Structure 1
Amino acid sequence: METLFVILIGIVAAVLSNRNIAVFNDGLRPIVSEHIEGRLKRRELGLTAFAMSFGLVIGFGIPFTLSASIILIHSILLGTDIIGLATPKNKWGTPVAAVIGGLYGWGLIAGLEGFVKLFEHLPLNFLDPLGQVGTPVVVTFMAFPALAVAMQFSIKKGILTFVVSALVRQLAVWANTSAFIKIGGNAVSLNQEGMALIVGMIFLFTYAIKEKQEGASIDLASVFSDKVLSIKKNVVFFMVIGGLIAGATNLLLMAGDPISLNLLAEGKQTDAGIAAGARAIGFIPLVASTAIATGVYSPVGFTLIFVVGLFSPNVWLAVLTGAAVIFGEVMLLSYIARFLDKFPGVRNSGENIRNAMTKLLEVALLIGGANASNTIAPGFGFFFIAGFYLINEVAGRPIVRMAVGPLGAIAVGIIANILVALGIMVIPE
């Protein structure tokens, strides 16, 4: 059943991409819209999709998937973006995209099991150290609201948000160690990162709602009503893939972001759900505005389906609830557009939240990659990651910063195995 879920997600996502209905890569939606309106040829669209997504699949999605043995959604949906847009949109192109998308999904889950078995036969099994790549992500994630506040409003407000968030985190640590909170005689343990994150988000949205817009507002929903209507016409497709992804998440087959993925790998499903929820809040302005402006939706919607999957008691309820949630999202697009227009600060915060998350992930993954590399090959690991990062910067960043740490750790693991096989390096204890 688990394999079937992944295969079906691959099929449906590839078809949605092929029919120009939905793509996962946020940057591709405006480009797909250009193709729909006749300003971009299909071949150019396919090449652009490959250039924008392939590096992220190899350098971002796959390393995280390997490090936790849980599929990061980027691994499958960025791939199906390429598959769908690279195949012609005609009577034979769409079935071909569906078949390739299904095979890709099957290969991803089958290959994952093969990779795990392969690591066991290596001279130096570096799968466990590779898991350290994501360790700093969970802790540093709580700082993104403060960074978003600093980026959008002011450094002073950002510092205030950061200090209060840090204080709340330490108060949560104290409350846990002293068993301060009890229910029915049983001590209640608070998630310290989660508490800090909630406080930071309260600060962010309080500032955002207070921000005023200069000049007349624009009713996005009325300007782009035809595009909103085209999205609503395809709501059944979104319900299908939304239900499938929510179900797969409930089975702990996949995660929507590196933070919740690492929490799931540590067995913290509730914490993963909280992190996924915070991320979803930040993505609502981005997904809604790009969808309304382009007529192209995201196969994961506002990413709330991951929250549904993590908090549902069983897989079938997750499927039904996920379908219902994404249906509600699509139907509410016009209202969301008007709300975002009424509070421009909230609309603008979506991009700042996304940028803040990206910057934090770049730093956290570089640290995590360095720690993992140094565990695999003490001394050499730090040397390699530092050199890899700096050379990538000088070369104009052909590899996105977020991918340097995970890719570098994998490279160190491969090099270390070669050195061990040659007798040049001793396996670290």
Structure 2
Amino acid sequence: MPFALSTAAAVDKLDFSLPESLTVIGVCALTALISNMALAVFNDGVRPFLLDFVRGNTRRGEMTAVSFGLSAGFVFGLGAPMALSTGVLNPWLLFLPTDILGIFAPRRWLAPILGGAWGAIVVFGLSGANNAAHDLPVDFLTAMQEMATPILFLFLLFPVIAIASQFGRVRGAITFVVEIAFVVLSMKVWPEQFPGALAMAAGVLMLLGFALVKDLRDRRAANVPPPASPADAPGAARIPVEDGPDGGPPANPVEDRPDGKPPADPVASLFGANAERLRRHLPWFAVLGAALAAMVNLHVFGGGEATSFLVAKGDYGEAAQVDFYRAFGFLPLIATTALASGAFQIVGFTFVYPLAYLAPNVAVAAVGGAVLFTVEILALSYIGRGLALLPSIRDASDHLRNAIGKTLEIAILFGAIAAAATMGGGLGITLVGGLYLLNEAIGRPVVRLAAGPAAVVVAGIVLNALHWLDLFTPLKG
């Protein structure tokens, strides 16, 4: 049977079992507590502000306002609609609110209570909202499942965009041809598998290969002795050097130090202190890794837009591959902001997702998650040094991250239009497309990634209101 994307059966998965509900509530309580301790947050935009917060230069209310402003659009415009349409929870719905609640809590004991309360609202309230939406004449949640195909099949091209932006259009075009060839081959030879998995693997490997070759070439060029300076030629004019104090020789900043060592780099000192701060709290991160992995292994959670649909369909191997390749785009950002701020990413380098998808049971996943987070914290300084030695690899990850964002913006917009056509035909397209364009025209109060799903929800509500006013007849089927 060829790979299919129907997630209709997945909607009922919003009725969580008691162990699943308690696990989600516990994870939300823990992430809120860790956010309150300023050890980790999910929003990458919030993390750079945490250093001033830890030092007391930013007040709690100001920090809460920053976190809310950077997160609210993703929670209600992307996280909630994606969860309702797939039946699978996601990090925007769970961890952006626990960032806010943890920072907001004036007392440490209050943070896990607020986080746990949010988890309870999600697991118990989402099912009721889902059932109510499906009882409406215009079932916009089922229509939103049409977003799966554009998201999955356009998302796989993000390495093409990254290579074209970093290494030029020729290599980008070559990568595009290679990825399409892998998609066609996969559909022919392995029709039951998601055909984008091998294509993404090939694209990411090509990007890393181009970057590594460039770094090695640049390092070889840097080791070539520079040509002799004209100033060293016999009879060349000499540039006068100022005398040191009291007419003596110029001061040497190394020799003048009592220990003979060069002055300390303040940036390196800060990075080292922040890495040490995270290592001091290593047990908390081990517990966090175990809890996250346990929740993901229950298959009620997807780490990204594309993987939410794959998890809903039960394709955990493909979901693991997608999130594994995606992790390379965010690793440098997470590592550098963690070293600069002293706060880690709530989900680590995101490798916990593929590990937990593939673990045979919850216990194995939890142990693996604890070990993985421990290794990530201990390796943070080494990763930072490695990125400094491989600038093209670091740049490649930046291009990957930007490409992921651009690709998903287009894919989600296409999916939103497909959902609009399914639930409302031409009128649905007009409403969803019009709301998206209006959002652009008024300065984008809702970020592009969330604008499409949010427009589908609003348009669905409008279509139901028009139906009750006898101004719109829902489409059959």
Shorter-chain TM band: over 0.9
Does structure 2 conserve the Cα–Cα contact (< 8 Å) formed by 1:71 and 1:255? yes
Q: How does 1:48-67 map to 2 (within 5 A)?
A: 48-67=66-85
| Residue 368 (structure 1) aligns with | 415
Q: How does 1:74-113 map to 2 (within 5 A)?
A: 74-88=92-106, 93-113=107-127
CA–CA distance in structure 1, aligned partners of residues 170 and 189 of structure 2: 28
Does structure 2 conserve the Cα–Cα contact (< 8 Å) formed by 1:221 and 1:334? no
| Residue 69 (structure 1) aligns with | 87
Q: How does 1:246-257 map to 2 (within 5 A)?
A: 246-257=293-304
Q: How does 1:343-358 map to 2 (within 5 A)?
A: 343-358=390-405
Residue from 99, 115, 126 that aligns with 2:140: 126
Task: Check if 1:193 corresponds to 2:182.
Answer: no
Does structure 2 conserve the Cα–Cα contact (< 8 Å) formed by 1:220 and 1:338? no
CA–CA distance in structure 2, aligned partners of residues 340 and 221 of structure 1: 14
CA deviation string 1:288-312 (max 9, x = no partner): 1111121110111001111111001
Partner letter of residue 55 of structure 2?
A: E
Partner letter of residue 85 of structure 2?
A: S
Q: How does 1:316-335 map to 2 (within 5 A)?
A: 316-335=363-382
The alignment yields a C-alpha RMSD, in angstroms, of 1.9
CA–CA distance in structure 2, aligned partners of residues 275 and 413 of structure 1: 30
Does structure 1 conserve the Cα–Cα contact (< 8 Å) formed by 2:31 and 2:288? yes
Q: How does 1:120-159 map to 2 (within 5 A)?
A: 120-159=134-173
| Residue 203 (structure 1) aligns with | 206
| Residue 182 (structure 1) aligns with | none
Partner letter of residue 366 of structure 1?
A: L
| Residue 381 (structure 1) aligns with | 428
Task: Check if 1:315 corresponds to 2:362.
Answer: yes
Shift of residue 220 of structure 1? 7.4
CA deviation string 1:68-115 (max 9, x = no partner): 111111111000111111222xxxx11111111100011111111111
Shift of residue 385 of structure 1? 2.1
CA–CA distance in structure 1, aligned partners of residues 388 and 91 of structure 2: 30
Task: Check if 1:25 corresponds to 2:43.
Answer: yes
Partner letter of residue 51 of structure 1?
A: G
CA–CA distance in structure 1, aligned partners of residues 138 and 157 of structure 2: 35
Does structure 2 conserve the Cα–Cα contact (< 8 Å) formed by 1:69 and 1:112? no
How many residue pairs match? The answer is: 413
CA–CA distance in structure 2, aligned partners of residues 201 and 222 of structure 1: 33
Partner letter of residue 66 of structure 2?
A: T
CA deviation string 1:260-287 (max 9, x = no partner): 1011122211111111111122222111
Shift of residue 223 of structure 1? 5.4
SS of 1:211's equivalent? Answer: helix
| Residue 288 (structure 2) aligns with | 241
CA–CA distance in structure 2, aligned partners of residues 301 and 288 of structure 1: 9
CA–CA distance in structure 2, aligned partners of residues 219 and 309 of structure 1: 39
**Runs of 4 or more above 4 Å deviation:** 213-216, 218-223
User: Which 10-residue stretch deviates more, 21-30 or 280-289?
Assistant: 280-289
**Identity among equivalent pairs (%):** 33
CA–CA distance in structure 1, aligned partners of residues 150 and 82 of structure 2: 13
Gaps of 5+ in 2: 1-18, 224-264
CA deviation string 1:357-389 (max 9, x = no partner): 111110000010111011111111111122112
SS of 1:224's equivalent? Answer: helix
Does structure 1 conserve the Cα–Cα contact (< 8 Å) formed by 2:301 and 2:311? no
Shift of residue 40 of structure 1? 2.1
Residue from 173, 178, 182 that aligns with 1:168: 182
Partner letter of residue 236 of structure 1?
A: P
- TM-score, structure 2 normalization: 0.83
CA deviation string 1:157-196 (max 9, x = no partner): 222211211122212223346xxxxxxxxxxx55421111
Shift of residue 424 of structure 1? 1.7
Does structure 1 conserve the Cα–Cα contact (< 8 Å) formed by 2:140 and 2:456? no
Q: How does 1:173-322 map to 2 (within 5 A)?
A: 173-176=187-190, 191-212=194-215, 224-322=271-369
CA–CA distance in structure 1, aligned partners of residues 381 and 64 of structure 2: 30
Gaps of 5+ in 1: 178-188
CA–CA distance in structure 1, aligned partners of residues 463 and 267 of structure 2: 54
CA–CA distance in structure 2, aligned partners of residues 191 and 368 of structure 1: 18
Does structure 2 conserve the Cα–Cα contact (< 8 Å) formed by 1:372 and 1:409? yes
Partner letter of residue 197 of structure 2?
A: G
CA–CA distance in structure 2, aligned partners of residues 288 and 276 of structure 1: 17
Instruction: Tell which structure's C-alpha radius of gyration is larger.
Output: 2
Does structure 2 conserve the Cα–Cα contact (< 8 Å) formed by 1:42 and 1:86? yes
Shift of residue 203 of structure 1? 0.8
Does structure 2 conserve the Cα–Cα contact (< 8 Å) formed by 1:124 and 1:416? yes
SS of 2:109's equivalent? Answer: helix
CA–CA distance in structure 1, aligned partners of residues 69 and 203 of structure 2: 35
CA–CA distance in structure 2, aligned partners of residues 45 and 211 of structure 1: 41
CA–CA distance in structure 2, aligned partners of residues 101 and 276 of structure 1: 25
CA–CA distance in structure 1, aligned partners of residues 380 and 93 of structure 2: 27
In structure 2, relative to structure 1, the CA distance for the partners of 1:35 and 1:146 (3 Å cut) is same
Shift of residue 354 of structure 1? 1.2
SS of 1:303's equivalent? Answer: coil
CA–CA distance in structure 2, aligned partners of residues 101 and 38 of structure 1: 23
SS of 2:446's equivalent? Answer: coil
CA–CA distance in structure 2, aligned partners of residues 285 and 2 of structure 1: 32
User: Which 10-residue stretch deviates more, 34-43 or 291-300?
Assistant: 34-43
Residue from 446, 452, 457 that aligns with 1:410: 457
Partner letter of residue 439 of structure 2?
A: N
In structure 2, relative to structure 1, the CA distance for the partners of 1:354 and 1:220 (3 Å cut) is farther
